[in-house]
Structure 1
Amino acid sequence: MRAVIQRVSEASCTVEGHITGAIGHGLLVLLGIEEADGDEDINWLAQKIANLRVFSDENGLMNRSIQDVQGGILLISQFTLFAQTKKGNRPSFIRAAKPAYAIPVYETMIAHLTGLLGKPIATGQFGADMKISLINDGPVTIIMDTKDKDNH
């Protein structure tokens, strides 16, 4: 499981002209899922996202988590995070999980993050052509991969 996490002043997702999710101050999380991902990956990544200290404290240091600042999370499923670009110029997405596997994993991640934050999170629409708008705050962008969890 891979995540690109961006600290934002605001972010929203629009599908066919309708906003599916929007947040103010918080985290935009782009989530890639592969077939090898399971409960351990979901739990680890959800905890990391909820406790990631990327928000400024009173001294301007990144010492506060999304929970500390009572911010929002916009979670977007993005299979292209598993693009393989070694050969040729057209990316291969063979490692990305098929919808039958990825959708339940995505829904479990939504439930985990909602539970950790104690409030609903905003989402995109799985498999849709989504338009994501954001104002990256900082900019702060962090990439995590659950296959590297022993190295973090």
Structure 2
Amino acid sequence: MKAIIQRVLSASVTVDNQIVSSIGKGILVFAAVAPDDTPKDVELLANKILKLKVWDSPSDGGRWKMSAMDMDYQVLLVSQFTLLAKTKKGSKPDFHGACPPALAADIYTSLLDKTRALYAGEKGLAQEDAMTRVQDGVFGAMMQVALVNDGPVTFELSTPEKSETVTSNKGGKKEKSEGEGKGDTGGNVISNSD
């Protein structure tokens, strides 16, 4: 899975001239499903969405200490298969890296359900309250997404951690995790696959 997470003051989704969801302070998540995504990817991304520290602490001003869930803020989850487009060749995006729509809908729904369940479980909320805290767009629809980015603060996340092949000094190859040797990524994977 690949996601773009933006800290927002507000965000909304409109379909056919009707606002279908809107949030105040929180995070807007654009998520794309790859063909090889598994339930483990869903769980990893749901946890990251809710626990990524993108706000300063209101008590001591400490930087990057609070998550959307810590702050009791909302999440707006929007499906966006175009995040998996390949653009290296030519000027037309190639979407073969995205999951077929029927399977992607099931996996996206699992991500939405898992994110709501985790929020409800961590905060002791009823399911209907979790649905208010974690909202979504309309899978597969043409959507207009409005947002006021706060900062701006934007992160790109990918699961699972992709491997890249690195050639050693002796011409041999080894597999290397993306974050290896590049400093602390804080568990966030910045995808270099495009």
Q: TM-score range by the shorter chain?
A: over 0.9
The alignment covers a number of residue pairs equal to 152
Distance in 2 (alpha carbons) for counterparts of 1:114 and 1:70 = 13
Mapped pair 1:140 → 2:140? no
Mapped pair 1:123 → 2:136? yes
Structure showing greater relative contact order (alpha-carbon pairs closer than 8 Å, 6 or more residues apart): 1
| Structure 2 match to 1:31 | 31
TM-score, normalization: structure 2?
0.76
Q: Which protein has the bigger strand share?
A: 1
| Structure 2 match to 1:53 | 53
Taking the TM superposition and a 5 Å limit, the aligned residue runs for 1:3-152 are 3-58=3-58, 59=61, 61-118=63-120, 119-120=130-131, 121-148=134-161, 151=179, 152=187
* Structure label with greater radius of gyration: 2
Identity of aligned residues (%): 40
TM-score, normalization: structure 1?
0.96
Distance in 2 (alpha carbons) for counterparts of 1:86 and 1:61 = 36
Structure 1 runs of 4+ aligned residues shifted over 6 Å read none
How far has the Cα of 1:60 moved from its partner? Answer: 5.2
How far has the Cα of 1:148 moved from its partner? Answer: 2.2
What are structure 2's unaligned runs of at least 5 residues? 121-129, 163-176, 180-186, 188-194
SS of 2:115's equivalent in the other structure is: helix
Distance in 2 (alpha carbons) for counterparts of 1:50 and 1:35 = 24
Distance in 2 (alpha carbons) for counterparts of 1:78 and 1:48 = 18
Distance in 1 (alpha carbons) for counterparts of 2:84 and 2:155 = 16
